[in-house]
């Protein structure tokens, strides 16, 4: 029998997974991420009925990192025709680490999907082409989606990422060599790192991504964010490519479309029912939050939800 | 508004996709497959309520090929503990062609998942260890699942596959060199090719796979085939690795767990609702039935079903 | 019986290979190279006894491109200890295209050898660290080696290369991500492209590289360029890695250490005997001069010279 | 000033490199190799003038392993036209481990060169096609070349290799899948492992390979083994592909064409001057004899010989 969803349930799940946080490793390639306390742990759920539940550090903001790749994709889906996007980036799992150039070279500069670094950089390149102020636009839009006015970039993180940009610069230049990158590399990298440096809490993330559980509609916005069909498509992409190399393992254990970031955040969606955000900075080998994945797995079992 | 599921709807879908069959290419690596008429086209659906619908060549048998990889996995799940299976084969998408050795060598002989050739061969190797007559056992079990007594192997196909076994033999030997293959290579290849050479119709396949839409229970069997949790796991694997390199594209377009074979068959599942089988021998570049994928995409739209 | 080396012999060899120039393809990734006449054909030989022979367009200058990679390596060997160089770049054939990033990523940013782009970029990075004016220094040194005062960079080619620098920028950034690139990427790329844009004739190249046939000593210079041991080492590297992916084929056919450039030039060395330069802009699939390799093969046979 | 070649010089070189043997690792994939004493150390040189020098364990037989790949190639060169051989195997360095399948799959089953396992297996496949008794023929021929009547296969090693044949079987089957392997895999593997299991001493090897320093002629045989041009070609192949991944490093340090085996033997050639064989079972990471390479390096320096 599935349990009732409430704050107490979320809290008990956090208690169960807390020991795992000690086994993972906080991302340390930039100081601003390395100094985050490894024992932070939070979770928030928003249902399509309008309820929101939270536990732990659900209201503390952190660097959402690659979770922003979903946001930039959805932003691009509103600015480009479907064919324009998918001729420049694929829809399939890569089977490779998120920042590898091997496949990108073999496949002539077309990234496998928009949720690996190469793919997200192409999307940012497209946004740079069509938006007059891509960073400002993203910020306004995320504030709108979340309903929170003071969401902002952690400029220290963005600057720090840019100082460690070598691998992403290599990816961008490699795509440029194949004609699949049109704008100035430095400019687009700056945008990309700012998107990664969005600071949001679990509660804000769950609210922001609720439209993916509501066929593309945010409850407080008159206009749909994307169409129902596009919503299914984004969820499908998250399900097959949202967890770096571990999409299959995550589907197996959790059974929900999800997207993780190296800041330790994961957003997951139960279509027609709820959006979930979890945060624990210690990562597993694939770069996903160790306690975060476990929390989602237990939640899925306790409330009896899986898309499969 | 989602349409009513019935034979007429299925029939109209087949009419819509029939022109696509001419654009694909029938598998021709063995004569027995090459001589199948490219214009064959069939579909069948079984619902959890007990209804079955069919259209086109839904009652003509064909070579199910890699669709059998789901059957051998489920058979192994009944004979081995979870840990025993997943230490020998992974759960993640490969991002590579189904018969590639590149990743297998780099990853020390552990296949990415049980739905690429390498993974299915490991599963067959495990079945050979635990079953006294693996071919006979599979046949009995499929007859039980489908409720059809005369399902059998197409021995001409099996023999023909074995004569063209070089690539699969290379895969098996490579795994043996890493200690991940225990039985005689020829014996296991013979079993593997027999499983691929199972002859079944769309109607029989839909019936056989209905347990994946029913939390592991076949309607006519007293005992569950697998547990509800295992059912979700198998569906998750199909969703992320069931369509060769195109798992993401298939999730995007169709939104259901599915498994295809080079005979042109595809099985798909809407958990808690229905199992679907479609057949059209002409394949796309990734080895999936061209008209078959299109038929599933249209069906998903018309009945408003997607797991995402 | 080996033939006598003289201008007439060289001339007859050019006549023999001239038809081949039509089968190759002039490098066209930048206009300045693409517009070179495909029928240019020249050869020059300098012997350790002081004789120089020439035929065809041996006195017309062209872009030496990757032939300059030998020059930058030798320059670095004079500025760095052996261990300093070879901890940052390897000595073995790559077995990959000259501008591939695949191996570079797998091997953690350490290029296989100094004659592929990645390796030459590391060498340029090292020169940037130790030389106050790397471009001016190279120019002065090449003028000294060749004894020709007006050798210069084709700044149009250098500028044009820089505009098409994406692939090389990707390589440099990838090495930077592994800590194997220390200076500003743009600055080093500018140096690298200038070195590639050195304009020299076959006669000037043969004279310049004569020190490799004379145990490191140029006939007109008091100081040795490099030691006898270093000379053998550079020749060994040219023999195993000087012809892109075709080092083995070139050794098989020609049997001399050699280094080619996409401008169509090739420099070859018969240790203790002679240096040779040949030029024909039309390239084979591996990027080596089609008629140039053939001319060297015939020359080797006619004069009975091979190191093997 | 180069030193005089004699037994005492060889002996002093062995003394110098003896400590290195302790740093390497004796091949242990089969018991018959693993039990060879790691402190065995021998060297032998035969000059084109008819002198033979030796030191250490130069008269003790060991398993020549991949050194036999040169013998099988030369045997094939006498049975096939040049074009027949080189359409089935390349001439270029692989840049990959000797038993890798990655490149072989990417390059459609055509091995890079005849000195990696895949290439040698193709050569053995060709010998099987043209020779009625390939094992007996090789034995007779090696006895003829060495002038030693009791050279034989170590059948215990051959049998043991066959029991660990999985990787080589995978390679053979992969080539078969591309149509580049014509005979029965087991039969050809048996031949291949017997060739590897030839037992010879340094003195016998130096004598056997002397024809490569004498333009294809063995001093005691009326007929040339191969032509002068073919001799240069074989030496060129050894120079660029004879030392597994370390062809460049070996050329750099030793400067001679050479071929090594995991039994710890290396054969090297100074064209027109001498053949050399060295043996020390402890290997470096690339699979070459650690002390053996060092001994050749010192010998090359002391006698002032290098082809470069």
Mean per-residue pLDDT, B170-190: 97
- A107 to chain C: nearest residue by CA? C102
Rounded distance, CA A64 to CA A70, Å?
Answer: 11
Which residues of C fall in the annotated binding site? 66, 117, 161, 168, 192, 244, 262
Taking phi over 0 as left and psi of -120 to 50 as alpha, with beta for the rest, D25 belongs to beta
Q: Which chains touch C (3 or more CB pairs under 8 A)?
A: A, D
* D32 contacts: CB under 8 Å, gap ≥ 6: D63, D154, D156, D157, D160
Residue-wise pLDDT for C144-171, tens only, equals 999 999 999 999 999 999 889 999 999 9
- Which tokens sit at D84? 């027949």
CB contact under 8 Å between A236 and B245, yes or no, is no
* C100 contacts: CB under 8 Å, gap ≥ 6: A105, C94
Q: Does the active-site annotation cover B199?
A: no
Least CB–CB distance from D174: residue in B106, B167, B176: B167
Burial B263-285 (b: 16+ CB within 10 A, else e): bbbbbbbbbebbbbbbbbbbbbe
Rounded distance, CA A265 to CA A66, Å?
Answer: 9
C29: how many CB neighbours lie within 10 A of its CB?
11
Q: Does the active-site annotation cover B153?
A: no
Alpha carbon of B186: minimum distance to chain D alpha carbons (Å): 12
Alpha carbon of C100: minimum distance to chain A alpha carbons (Å): 8
Which helix (H) or strand (E) segment is B180 a member of? Answer: none
- Decide: residue D82, CB within 10 A, 0-12 exposed, 13-18 middle, 19+ buried: exposed
The predicted structure's pLDDT at residue C1: 46
The predicted structure's pLDDT at residue A2: 61
- Decide: residue C83, CB within 10 A, 0-12 exposed, 13-18 middle, 19+ buried: exposed
CB contact under 8 Å between D103 and C95, yes or no, is yes
Which 3 state secondary structure label does DSSP give A61?
A: coil
Residue-wise pLDDT for B190-240, tens only, equals 999 999 999 999 999 999 999 999 999 999 999 999 999 999 999 999 999
- Picking from A96-100, A156-160, C298-302, D161-165, which range would have the lowest pLDDT averaged per residue? A96-100
Beta strands in B12-123 (DSSP E): 25-26, 42-47, 52-56, 62-63
Which helix (H) or strand (E) segment is C276 a member of? Answer: strand C274-279
Mean per-residue pLDDT, A15-33: 92
- D273 to chain C: nearest residue by CA? C308
- Decide: residue B148, CB within 10 A, 0-12 exposed, 13-18 middle, 19+ buried: middle
CB contact under 8 Å between B101 and D105, yes or no, is yes
DSSP assignment letter at D13: H
C16: how many CB neighbours lie within 10 A of its CB?
14
Confidence band of B100 (pLDDT split at 50, 70, 90): confident
| Residue D29 forms contact with B (CB below 8 Å) | no
- Decide: residue A78, CB within 10 A, 0-12 exposed, 13-18 middle, 19+ buried: exposed
Alpha carbon of A180: minimum distance to chain C alpha carbons (Å): 11
Which 3 state secondary structure label does DSSP give D261?
A: coil
Of D118, D100, D114, D106, nearest to D175 (Cα)? D118
Which helix (H) or strand (E) segment is C75 a member of? Answer: helix C68-77
C219: how many CB neighbours lie within 10 A of its CB?
13
Rounded distance, CA B139 to CA A102, Å?
Answer: 43
Residue-wise pLDDT for A199-254, tens only, equals 999 999 999 999 999 999 999 999 999 999 999 999 999 999 999 889 999 999 99
Residue-wise pLDDT for C95-111, tens only, equals 887 788 888 998 999 99
- A253 to chain B: nearest residue by CA? B233
Sites in chain D below the pLDDT cut of 70: 1-3
Rounded distance, CA D149 to CA D82, Å?
Answer: 31
Q: Which chain D residues are Cβ-neighbours of C113 within 8 angstroms? A: 248
C100: how many CB neighbours lie within 10 A of its CB?
22
> Pairing mode, if any, of strands D265-270 and D274-279?
antiparallel
| B262 labeled part of a ligand binding site | yes
| B117 labeled part of a ligand binding site | yes
Alpha carbon of D236: minimum distance to chain C alpha carbons (Å): 5
- A29 to chain C: nearest residue by CA? C177
Which 3 state secondary structure label does DSSP give D193?
A: helix
- Which tokens sit at C167? 């692939």
The predicted structure's pLDDT at residue B172: 97
- Domains by residue range for chain A, with CATH: 7-65+200-303 (3.40.710.10), 67-196 (3.40.710.10)
Q: 């840990």: which residue's tokens?
A: B83
| Residue D107 forms contact with C (CB below 8 Å) | no
Q: Which of residues 145-204 of C touch A (CB under 8 A)?
A: 166-167, 169-174, 176-177, 185
Q: Which chain B residues are Cβ-neighbours of A70 within 8 angstroms? A: none
Q: Which are the catalytic amino acids of C?
A: 66, 69, 192, 244, 262
The answer to whether B241 and B116 have CB atoms below 8 angstroms apart is yes
Of A103, A97, D98, nearest to A89 (Cα)? A103
Rounded distance, CA B54 to CA B43, Å?
Answer: 6
Pure H helices in chain D: 7-17, 31-34, 68-77, 82-86, 102-106, 117-130, 134-146, 155-163, 166-177, 185-196, 202-208, 228-241, 247-253, 290-302
The predicted structure's pLDDT at residue A1: 45
Of A80, A107, A79, nearest to A92 (Cα)? A107
Q: Residue D81 to residues A108, A263, D69, D111, D235: CA-CA distances in angstroms?
A: 39, 63, 18, 18, 18
The answer to whether A118 and A175 have CB atoms below 8 angstroms apart is yes
* A4 contacts: CB under 8 Å, gap ≥ 6: none
The predicted structure's pLDDT at residue B2: 61
- Which tokens sit at B124? 């067959």
Which residues of A fall in the annotated binding site for substrate? 66, 117, 161, 168, 192, 244, 262
Q: Which are the catalytic amino acids of D?
A: 66, 69, 192, 244, 262
The predicted structure's pLDDT at residue D98: 75
| Residue A258 forms contact with B (CB below 8 Å) | no
Q: Which chains touch A (3 or more CB pairs under 8 A)?
A: B, C
The predicted structure's pLDDT at residue B1: 46
* C74 contacts: CB under 8 Å, gap ≥ 6: C225, C226, C234
The predicted structure's pLDDT at residue D2: 62
- B100 to chain D: nearest residue by CA? D105
* B181 contacts: CB under 8 Å, gap ≥ 6: B109, B121, B122, B125, B172, B173, B175, B188
Q: 């795509």: which residue's tokens?
A: A175
Least CB–CB distance from C167: residue in A102, A172, A177: A177
Rounded distance, CA C252 to CA C246, Å?
Answer: 10
| Residue A237 forms contact with B (CB below 8 Å) | yes
Q: How are the residues of chain A apportioned to helix, strand and coil, as percentages rounded to the nearest 5? A: 50, 10, 40
- D165 to chain B: nearest residue by CA? B177
- From A26, A36, A63, A69, the catalytic residue: A69
Of A98, A87, A82, nearest to A196 (Cα)? A98
Average pLDDT of chain B, as a whole number: 95
| Angle at the Cα of A44 from the Cα atoms of A42 and A49, rounded to 5 degrees | 170
DSSP secondary structure letters along A184-231 = -HHHHHHHHHHHHTEEE-HHHHHHHGGGGGTTT--TT-SS-SS-HHHH
CB contact under 8 Å between C92 and D96, yes or no, is no
Mean per-residue pLDDT, A279-304: 96
- Count contacts between A and C (CB, < 8 Å): 53
Which residues of D fall in the annotated binding site for substrate? 66, 117, 161, 168, 192, 244, 262
Residue A190 has pLDDT above 80, yes or no: yes
| B285 labeled part of a ligand binding site | no
Rounded distance, CA C85 to CA C83, Å?
Answer: 5
Rounded distance, CA C99 to CA C82, Å?
Answer: 25
DSSP secondary structure letters along B10-37 = HHHHHHHHGGGGGTSEE--SSHHHHTS-
CB contact under 8 Å between B93 and A95, yes or no, is yes
The predicted structure's pLDDT at residue A281: 97
- Decide: residue A16, CB within 10 A, 0-12 exposed, 13-18 middle, 19+ buried: middle
The predicted structure's pLDDT at residue A42: 98
């Amino acid at each position: 029998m599935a349990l009732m969803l409430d704050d107490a349930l979320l809290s008990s799940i956090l208690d169960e997974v807390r020991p795992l946080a000690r086994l993972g490793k906080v991302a340390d390639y930039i100081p601003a991420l390395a100094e985050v306390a490894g024992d932070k742990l939070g979770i928030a759920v928003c249902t399509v009925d309008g309820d929101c539940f939270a536990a732990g550090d659900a209201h503390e903001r952190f660097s959402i990192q690659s979770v922003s790749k979903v946001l930039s994709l959805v932003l691009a889906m509103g600015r480009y025709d479907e064919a324009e996007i998918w001729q420049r980036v694929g829809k399939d799992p890569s089977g490779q680490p998120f920042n590898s150039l091997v496949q990108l070279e073999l496949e002539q500069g077309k990234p496998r999907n928009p949720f690996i670094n190469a793919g997200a950089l192409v999307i940012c390149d497209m946004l740079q082409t069509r938006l007059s102020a891509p960073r400002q636009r993203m910020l306004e839009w995320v504030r709108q989606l979340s309903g929170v006015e003071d969401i902002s970039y952690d400029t220290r993180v963005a600057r720090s990422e840019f100082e460690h940009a070598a691998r992403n610069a290599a990816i961008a230049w490699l795509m440029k060599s194949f004609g699949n990158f049109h704008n100035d590399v430095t400019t687009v990298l700056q945008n990309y790192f700012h998107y990664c440096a969005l600071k949001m809490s679990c509660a804000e993330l769950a609210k922001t991504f609720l439209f993916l559980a509501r066929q593309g509609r945010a409850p407080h916005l008159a206009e749909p964010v994307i169409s129902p069909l596009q919503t299914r498509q984004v969820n499908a992409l998250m399900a097959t490519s949202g967890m770096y190399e571990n999409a299959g393992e995550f589907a197996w254990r959790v059974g929900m479309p999800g997207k993780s970031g190296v800041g330790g955040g994961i957003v997951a969606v139960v279509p027609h029912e709820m959006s979930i955000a979890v945060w624990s900075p210690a990562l597993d080998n694939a770069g996903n939050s160790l306690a975060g994945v476990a929390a989602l797995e237990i939640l899925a079992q306790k409330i009896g939800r899986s898309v499969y």
